[in-house]
């Protein structure tokens, strides 16, 4: 074979090889593209399915509310109540949007969203968690319907999008006690706590009110048709769903999905953006709790509670909410002359952040379930029956079971979520 013929064969072989490589790469690229497209398609399908489920959930709950409100024997009891006020309704006029807020059901979170929707924030904030809880209470971007009658509210609601959120009454009642009476809160120690604890002294701080004591006080007032603070009032009195129709009634148990659905439905997607929903919520809880306890330091100490004890209770409150790991012990000793009394807010936040990073997989949910179980286990059958009677309309109107959520299986007798100091 001549030298030139060998060269020609080599050139031909190289040409075929290169062509084969190009074809292989092209096919591989197409395969990866198809995989990516299929992945996106599956993701979109799941998103559509979840949206469809959420829409059905809203529809089914609205149907339950309407049918229950039409039952004469229930509605008769409902209409005798004089509690609840349109002051609980926040109106964003520029968006044709109104929200009836109920405390202990992410009301602060939604106030932040309404501030963004109503352009009530000076800076270009799109993530609600970047707005402090204190700022969220200011009427910026929204207005309360103070002074309006329920009839006027009903007329307004016919032409705008309206919504409210509810929560299992057992969980909300526990959350109100844990947040407002176990966690350091002088205002509630001196108001609801003083009455529930029966201290007999209006100036005293009822700083050790038990969950059963709160249940007895709240249920007694509801059953005797007395009006209560919004943290403990019934939902049907608070927002009047049998008098006025809401476009959407969301549930705390589906907070993330229901919130996103409403934001999409009212075209706020471009204005309200969430980062890492779970992580943002954790950091928000840590900063809010720390800011509050340091802000209230003098008032707390005036109640005879050392600041180290206030930090101790805040620490356990966050553990019970699943914000930090229960396995991380309180980093200070408790007393009047301990290092914690000189700890800065920034140092305390740093400690809490470290404890949150120590959480195990699913520990947030486990801690919450265990804390709820510990509190519920202190109630007698009579307490449970009183809750059923007091919140009967809420259970029926919003589709919750009268029987308490299963809690015994979550009972952890080796850890105390509510220690005192």
**pLDDT value for 76:** 59
pLDDT of 23 above 80:
no
The band of 340, judged by pLDDT with boundaries at 50, 70 and 90, is confident
User: What pLDDT sits at residue 388?
Assistant: 97
Q: How confident is the model over 339-352, as a mean pLDDT?
A: 89
Cross-strand partners of 250: 165
3-state helix, strand, coil in the chain (%, to 5): 60, 5, 35
Closest CA to 318 of 368, 386, 362: 368
* Percent of the residues in the chain that have a pLDDT greater than 90, as a whole number: 70
> Cα(72)–Cα(65) distance, rounded to whole angstroms?
13
Residue 77 has pLDDT above 60, yes or no: no
Alpha helices in 107-185 (DSSP H): 107-117, 133-136, 150-157, 169-177
- Judged against a pLDDT cut of 90, whether residue 44 lies above it is answered with no
pLDDT of residue 347: 96
* Residue-level pLDDT at 155: 94
Condensed to tens digits (0 to 9), the pLDDT of residues 224-272 reads: 989 999 999 999 999 999 989 999 999 999 999 999 999 999 999 999 9
CA distance 41 to 113: 30
| In the predicted structure, residue 81 carries a pLDDT above the cut 70 | no
Confidence check: pLDDT of 28 > 50: no
User: How much is the pLDDT for 186?
Assistant: 96
pLDDT-wise least confident of 32-41, 131-140, 218-227: 32-41
Tokens coding 10: 């080599």
pLDDT at residue 201 is higher than 60: no
Q: d(Cα 188, Cα 177) in Å, to the nearest integer?
A: 10
Best CA proximity match to 401, nearest among 171, 96, 180: 171
Give dist(CA 323, CA 325) in Å, integer: 7
E-state strands within 23-159: 89-92, 97-100, 143-144
202 — pLDDT class (breaks 50, 70, 90)? low
Question: CA geometry: angle at 157 spanning 153 and 159, to 5°?
Answer: 135
CA distances from residue 6 to 1, 9, 19 in whole angstroms, order as listed = 7, 5, 20
Average pLDDT value for the chain: 86
- Average pLDDT (132-157) is 92
Q: Is the pLDDT of residue 277 over 90?
A: no
In the predicted model, what is the mean pLDDT of residues 158-182? 97
CA 297 to chain centre: 26
Q: How far apart are CA 84 and CA 178, in angstroms?
A: 23
Q: Quick one: pLDDT at residue 16?
A: 42
String of DSSP letters for 350-367: HHHHHHHHTPPTTHHHHH
């Amino acid at each position: 074979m001549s030298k030139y013929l060998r060269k020609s064969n080599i050139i031909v072989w190289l040409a075929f090889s290169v062509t084969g490589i190009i074809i292989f790469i092209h096919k591989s690229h197409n395969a990866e593209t198809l995989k990516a497209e299929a992945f996106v398609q599956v993701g979109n399908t799941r998103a559509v399915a979840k949206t469809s489920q959420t829409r059905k959930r809203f529809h089914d709950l609205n149907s339950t509310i309407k049918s229950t409100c039409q039952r004469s024997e229930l509605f008769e009891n409902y209409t005798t109540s004089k509690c609840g006020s349109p002051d609980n309704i926040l109106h964003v006029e520029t968006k044709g949007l109104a929200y009836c807020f109920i405390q202990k059901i992410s009301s602060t979170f939604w106030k932040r969203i309404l501030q963004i929707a109503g352009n009530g924030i000076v800076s270009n904030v799109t993530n609600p968690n970047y707005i402090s809880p204190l700022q969220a209470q200011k009427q910026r971007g929204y207005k309360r319907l103070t002074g309006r009658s329920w009839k006027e509210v009903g007329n307004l609601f016919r032409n705008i999008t309206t919504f409210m959120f509810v929560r299992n009454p057992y969980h909300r009642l526990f959350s109100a006690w844990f947040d407002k009476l176990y966690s350091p809160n002088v205002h509630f120690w001196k108001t609801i706590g003083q009455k529930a604890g029966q201290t007999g002294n209006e100036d005293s701080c009822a700083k050790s009110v038990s969950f059963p004591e709160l249940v007895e006080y709240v249920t007694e007032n509801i059953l005797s048709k007395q009006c209560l603070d919004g943290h403990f009032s019934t939902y049907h009195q608070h927002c009047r769903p049998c008098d006025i129709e809401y476009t959407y009634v969301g549930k705390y148990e589906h907070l993330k999905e229901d919130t996103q659905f409403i934001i999409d439905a009212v075209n706020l997607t471009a204005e309200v953006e969430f980062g890492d929903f779970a992580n943002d919520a954790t950091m928000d809880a840590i900063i809010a709790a720390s800011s509050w306890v340091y802000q209230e330091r003098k008032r707390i100490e005036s109640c005879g509670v050392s600041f180290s004890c206030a930090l101790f209770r805040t620490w356990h409150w966050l553990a019970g909410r699943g914000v930090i790991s229960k396995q991380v012990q309180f980093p200070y000793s408790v007393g009047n002359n301990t290092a914690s009394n000189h700890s800065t807010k920034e140092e305390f936040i740093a400690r809490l952040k470290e404890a949150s990073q120590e959480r195990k997989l699913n520990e947030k949910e486990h801690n919450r379930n265990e804390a709820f179980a510990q509190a519920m286990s202190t109630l007698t059958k009579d307490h449970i029956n009183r809750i059923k009677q007091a919140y009967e309309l809420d259970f029926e109107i919003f589709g919750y079971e009268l029987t308490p959520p299963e809690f015994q299986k979550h009972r952890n007798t080796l850890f105390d979520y509510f220690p005192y100091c």
